[in-house]
Amino acid sequence: MNYRHAYHAGNFADVVKHVVLTRLLEYLKQKDKAFRVIDTHAGIGRYDLSSVEAQKTGEWQGGIGRLIDASFDASAAALLAPYLEAVRSLNPDGGVKRYPGSPLIARHLMRKQDRLSAIELHPKDAARLKAEFGGDFQTRVMELDGWLALGAHLPPKEKRGLVLIDPPFEEAGEFDRLVDGLERAHKRWPGGIYALWYPIKDRRAIIAFRKALRQSGIPKLLDIEFEIRPPSTEPSLDGSGMVVVNPPFTLEGELRTVLPALHRLLAVEKPAHWSLDWLAGE
């Protein structure tokens, strides 16, 4: 457990992941009925971009740093507004000094009837997350293995909602754990929305991952690929992907508006592409 998200918070991959997260939450909010967000790898929730860790990599400057004061056409701006409002809520004086992680973004968008389960295994990070949400009766922070929680906490009693699975990919076998975790979760709760994050670094692993997902028989799998540079010779994060299971019918169209706008800002070297592909349909 060496991975520390503080080095990467607010980078291009966080931006894309968190924009997708906000679009899923905005869809869930279209009905009054309560929903639950289960964040299986939640991190610490709030990141100080002036910290030693964030300054060391400067990754946020290639992500939220490029977005915060950018202008977008009206349709992309409307779709990005919930995300940017969540970021601005931590930065009332303007600019971006603090960045919200996935549990804070989810919590920012939730209504009074909605609930959040935030799971984090690293004891120090879990303690920080508990402190962040202390006294918040809508949020339950658990120091647990997110992969185990995927079984035990599904289906949620609300029977509506979203599971974000955002592992650190610091150990071999993380792609296999993602497929296995999704298969177990989907058996317990086939109607839930799942969003799985993955790095675009090792192309062969991604091909095998997609093949395993196709073979799982799980329907309605939308794969989002977002590259910021062509494949590097040395392993490096050339892009990020997300697989959304049971995506709202609105998601594909929204992403076709928002991803090109993000790509224009965040891609660093050509050729780099973004794409949306159905790994499985209905």
Binding positions for ligand SAM, 159-198, rule CB under 6 A: 166, 168
Q: Does 146 bind ligand SAM (CB under 6 A)?
A: yes
Least Cα distance to 102 among 160, 21, 178, 173 occurs for: 21
Q: Which of the following is catalytic: 166, 176, 223, 238? A: 166
- From the CB of 277, what's the least distance to ligand SAM, in Å? 23
The residue length of the chain stands at 282
Provide the angle, in degrees to the nearest 10, between the axes of the packed helices 12-28 and 102-109. 30
By beta-carbon distance, which residue lies closest to ligand SAM?
101
Considering only the stretches 41-49, 88-96, 227-235, 267-275, report the one whose residues sit in contact with ligand SAM under the rule CB under 6 A: 41-49
User: Can you tell me the distance from the alpha carbon of 258 to that of 232, in angstroms, rounded to the nearest whole number?
Assistant: 26
Q: Does 63 bind ligand SAM (CB under 6 A)?
A: no
Q: Does 199 bind ligand SAM (CB under 6 A)?
A: no
Q: How many residues of this chain bind ligand SAM (CB under 6 A)?
A: 21
User: Can you tell me the distance from the alpha carbon of 202 to that of 25, in angstroms, rounded to the nearest whole number?
Assistant: 30
Half-sphere exposure of 38 (CA within 13 A, CB side): 28
Least Cα distance to 17 among 102, 109, 115 occurs for: 102
Which tokens hold the place of 226? Answer: 């977002």
DSSP 81: H
Q: Is 166 an active-site residue?
A: yes
**Among all residues, which ones are annotated catalytic?**
166
- Interface contacts to ligand SAM, rule CB under 6 A: 1, 3, 5, 14, 17, 39, 41-43, 101-102, 119-122, 125, 145-147, 166, 168
Which residues are annotated binding-site positions for S-adenosyl-L-methionine?
18, 41, 102, 120, 145-146, 166
